[in-house]
């Protein structure tokens, strides 16, 4: 509100000195305001002065030589002039008045009708309007600094306000969106009619909150948390809609990854238990077949039958191994590797075995950094992805494999829940195949999930690949679009760690047990019996204990006299860990082999407690004897003495 003490700095742009004197005289009669009047007599001087934005108001005569006051008004506004401008005309001209108001004039006055009160009221109004516009500009500047996209629509759905964050979020500028219907650009693929439901709810209740999927100018899909508020006029008539959108795309992606990780962990625990039970069932078969093959070596028919049983048991064991690899991760031998060499091998295999309709395009960056890992497992991952890509292109297409050095910073790492900042070698495997819908892509790493026809896949390939990559401290990203293709990006962390030496003491042909005394501890009687038969046939002297209680009892009675102990980990109280800890305390010289079909932390605890070897159930007679040879060093030492 302007008071009597206010002083207005007023600029007059007028080429007639008599009119200047008249205006000065009128302003001297003002009753509420004091005016400091400055006069500019030419268009050029006046434009320069008004653009300085140092005046509270500006009076501009319509006639200014070759140009007009309307020209000056339009040029000043085009240069960002914030000073309220009042246009003075020599006679009333409605067309000029309308053009002046459309160009942004604060007011227009007819010189022939001006008196002191009218001029004073016009200047006061111009000053107040200028102050109001300045407040609006400041508020708009604050809105532009907001992280949220703030948008206003008229009741026809056309954009009437579009802040800077809306520009950043969508890629559409204010100039591109003002007056446009956002639905036609942001919600082009609103197939479920969510936007219509949102509008109806807002009109009925005055507001709506929820999540919306939008398309950016670049074609990307984003997810926003959207709040719609209906703005009404004083009489209650709907006037406009205020929308505030918060970008939650990254949060939704991380939530999805977190839920997938939790689901994978739960599935891992489930299949680990199943694999444990299945492994216990397969151990007697695997060991028993070996015994029977020796016993019926001269019976051709029996040998064929036993071979079928052995092959089936081995296939079952391989499946259990895959399940366990997924459930507990995979270790393998970690050596220094150049991924380029592995990719070369994969390229050779694919070019020799894939159909001619599948073009294989490989590009490996020079000076690819070194990683540390298991070459066989990494090749398994890449081959699995390549085979899946081939199967996704039944009519042919292009399989592309790329390898490059990348560095992820903190912001990059936040895009994936399994990622850490640092240096990686990124391998991209992409195809031009049928692609996958989102609900399928979300489940592809789950064990036993497969999109292939029944009988054409176990559903373990990608789950094993996921576990292998995670076991190497890496992570996988997948992008797929139906009808376009699928891209997998595998990030292997760069490492300077030295390769772990491989213990080949048990390599070569299996040796005779030489009478070494073995104690087998398990709560499954079938496993005890078949292990005893298989080891005795290989030249060992075998004792068995059904559960850890018998072992502890022998220790207390000082009756345990063996060269090696093989113990299951998962048994009724006391379990294998208790047996290992007690043996280490009382008989530290006796080597221990731990065995289990269950994938959990007890495996590592068994090795930490003192077990020299770990056998994953189901195991074959060969694997069992190899483990015994390693811990007893039978290749290098004379036969065990008899006592």
| Segment 19-49, tens digit of pLDDT | 899 988 888 887 767 888 999 999 999 999 9
φ/ψ of residue 340, rounded to 5 = -60, -40
Q: For 422-558, list the strands marked E by DSSP.
A: 422-431, 475-481, 485-493, 517-521, 541-545
pLDDT at 491: 94
> Of 538, 583, 537, whose CA–CA distance to 564 is shortest?
583
* pTM attached to this predicted model: 0.40
pLDDT digits (tens, 9 = 90+) for 490-543: 999 997 654 444 444 434 344 577 888 999 999 888 888 888 888 888 889 999
pLDDT at 449: 61
SS3 content of the chain, % helix, strand, coil (to 5): 45, 25, 35
pLDDT digits (tens, 9 = 90+) for 44-97: 999 999 999 889 899 999 989 889 999 999 999 888 888 899 989 876 677 787
Q: Which of 132-141, 166-175, 185-194, 454-463 shows the lowest per-residue confidence on average (mean pLDDT)? A: 454-463
CATH architecture, domain 252-328: Orthogonal Bundle (1.10)
Distance CA 262, CA 627 (A): 35
Percent of the chain with pLDDT over 70: 81
**Higher-confidence residue: 140 or 493?**
493
pLDDT at 58: 93
> Of 634, 331, 349, 611, whose CA–CA distance to 509 is shortest?
634
Per-residue pLDDT band for 486 (boundaries 50, 70, 90) equals very high
- Whether 297 and 303 have beta carbons less than 8 Å apart is answered as yes
pLDDT at 319: 65
pLDDT at 638: 46
Q: Do domains 7-143 and 517-632 have the same CATH topology?
A: yes
pLDDT at 272: 63
Stretch (H or E) spanning 243: strand 238-247
pLDDT at 550: 84
CATH code for the structural domain at 146-247:
3.30.450.20
Distance CA 110, CA 350 (A): 87
Collect all residues with Cβ–Cβ distance below 8 Å to 469 and sequence separation of at least 6.
381, 475, 476, 490, 492
Mean pLDDT of the region 411-427:
82
For tokens 């068995």, the residue is 544
Asked if the model's pLDDT at residue 635 lies above 80, the reply is no
Domain boundaries, the chain: 7-143, 146-247, 252-328, 335-493, 517-632
pLDDT at 193: 65
Mean pLDDT of the region 167-171:
88
CATH code for the structural domain at 7-143:
3.40.50.2300
pLDDT digits (tens, 9 = 90+) for 393-416: 989 999 999 999 999 888 777 777
Cross-strand pairs, 159:
153, 178
pLDDT at 403: 95
- Whether 600 and 328 have beta carbons less than 8 Å apart is answered as yes
- Measured between alpha carbons, how far is residue 85 from residues 101, 108, 144 in Å? 10, 9, 27
| Fold entry, domain 335-493 | Heat Shock Protein 90 (3.30.565)
- Token readout for 601 is 């932390």
Q: Say if domain 517-632 classifies as CATH 3.40.50.2300.
A: yes
Mean pLDDT of the region 230-235:
83
**Higher-confidence residue: 374 or 543?**
543
pLDDT at 453: 57
Per-residue pLDDT band for 305 (boundaries 50, 70, 90) equals confident
pLDDT at 136: 61
Percent of the chain with pLDDT over 90: 15
Distance CA 119, CA 122 (A): 5
Task: Compute the mean pLDDT over every residue in the chain, rounded to the nearest whole number.
Answer: 80
φ/ψ of residue 484, rounded to 5 = -115, -45
The CB density around residue 105, as the number of other CB atoms within 10 Å, is 21
φ/ψ region of 169 (left if φ > 0, alpha if ψ in -120 to 50, else beta) reads alpha
Asked if the model's pLDDT at residue 315 lies above 90, the reply is no
Strand order in the sheet with 422-431: 358-364, 397-408, 422-431, 485-493, 475-481
Mean pLDDT of the region 233-247:
85
Mean pLDDT of the region 446-450:
64
pLDDT at 526: 82
Stretch (H or E) spanning 638: none
Distance CA 510, CA 232 (A): 89
């Amino acid at each position: 509100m302007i008071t009597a003490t206010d002083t207005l700095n007023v600029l007059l742009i007028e080429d007639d000195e008599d009119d200047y004197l008249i205006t000065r005289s009128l302003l001297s009669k003002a009753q509420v305001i004091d005016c400091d009047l400055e006069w500019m007599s030419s268009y050029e001087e006046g434009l320069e002065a008004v653009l300085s934005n140092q005046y509270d108001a500006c009076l501009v005569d319509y006639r200014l030589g070759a140009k007009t006051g309307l020209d000056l008004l339009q040029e000043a506004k085009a240069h960002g002039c914030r000073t309220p401008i009042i246009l003075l005309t020599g006679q009333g001209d409605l067309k000029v008045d309308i053009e002046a108001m459309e160009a942004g004039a604060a007011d227009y006055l007819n010189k022939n009708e001006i008196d002191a009160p009218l001029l004073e009221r016009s200047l006061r109004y111009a000053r107040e309007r200028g102050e109001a516009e300045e407040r609006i500009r400041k508020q708009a500047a604050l809105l532009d600094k907001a992280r949220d996209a703030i948008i206003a629509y008229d009741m026809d759905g056309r954009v009437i306000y579009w802040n800077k964050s809306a520009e950043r979020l969508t890629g559409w500028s204010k100039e591109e969106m003002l007056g446009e219907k956002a639905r036609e650009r942001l919600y082009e693929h609103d197939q479920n009619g969510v936007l219509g439901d949102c509008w109806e709810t807002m009109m009925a209740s005055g507001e709506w909150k929820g999540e919306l999927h939008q398309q950016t100018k670049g074609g990307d899909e984003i997810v926003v948390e959207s709040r719609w508020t209906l703005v009404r006029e004083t009489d209650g008539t709907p006037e406009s809609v205020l929308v505030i959108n918060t970008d939650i795309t990254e949060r939704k992606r991380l939530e999805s990854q977190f839920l997938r990780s939790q689901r994978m962990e739960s599935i891992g625990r489930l299949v680990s238990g199943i694999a444990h039970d299945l492994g216990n069932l397969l151990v007697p078969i695997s060991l028993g077949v070996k015994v029977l093959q020796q016993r019926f070596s001269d019976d051709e028919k029996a040998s064929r039958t036993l071979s079928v049983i052995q092959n089936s048991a081995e296939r079952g064991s391989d499946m259990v191994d895959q399940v366990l690899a997924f459930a507990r991760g995979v270790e393998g031998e970690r050596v220094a590797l150049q991924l380029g060499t592995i990719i070369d091998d994969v390229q050779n295999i694919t070019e020799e075995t894939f159909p001619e309709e599948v073009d294989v395009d490989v590009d490996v960056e020079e000076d690819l950094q070194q990683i540390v890992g298991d070459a066989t497992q990494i090749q398994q991952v890449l081959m699995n992805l390549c085979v899946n890509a081939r199967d996704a292109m039944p009519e042919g297409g292009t399989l592309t494999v790329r390898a490059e050095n990348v560095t992820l910073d903190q912001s990059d790492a936040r895009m994936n829940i399994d990622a850490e900042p640092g240096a990686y070698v990124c391998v991209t495997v992409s195809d031009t195949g049928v692609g996958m819908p989102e609900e399928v892509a979300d489940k592809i790493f789950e064990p036993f999930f497969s999109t292939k026809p029944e009988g054409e896949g176990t559903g373990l390939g990608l789950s094993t690949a996921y576990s292998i990559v995670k076991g190497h401290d890496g992570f996988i990203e997948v992008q797929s679009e139906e009808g376009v293709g699928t891209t997998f990006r595998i990030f292997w962390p760069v490492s300077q760690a030295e390769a772990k030496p491989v213990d080949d003491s048990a390599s070569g042909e299996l040796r005779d047990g030489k009478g070494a005394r073995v104690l087998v501890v398990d709560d499954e009687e079938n496993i005890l019996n078949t292990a005893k038969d298989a080891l005795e046939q290989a030249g060992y002297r075998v004792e068995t204990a059904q559960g850890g209680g018998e072992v502890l009892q022998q220790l207390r009675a000082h009756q345990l006299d063996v060269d090696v102990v093989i113990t299951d980990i998962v048994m009724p109280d006391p379990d294998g860990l208790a047996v290992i800890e007690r043996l280490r305390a009382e008989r530290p010289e006796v080597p221990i082999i731990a065995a289990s079909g269950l994938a959990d932390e007890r495996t590592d605890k068994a090795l930490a407690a003192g077990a020299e070897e770990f056998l994953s159930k189901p195991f074959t007679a060969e694997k069992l004897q190899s483990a015994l040879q390693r811990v007893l060093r039978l290749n290098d030492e004379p036969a065990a003495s008899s006592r």
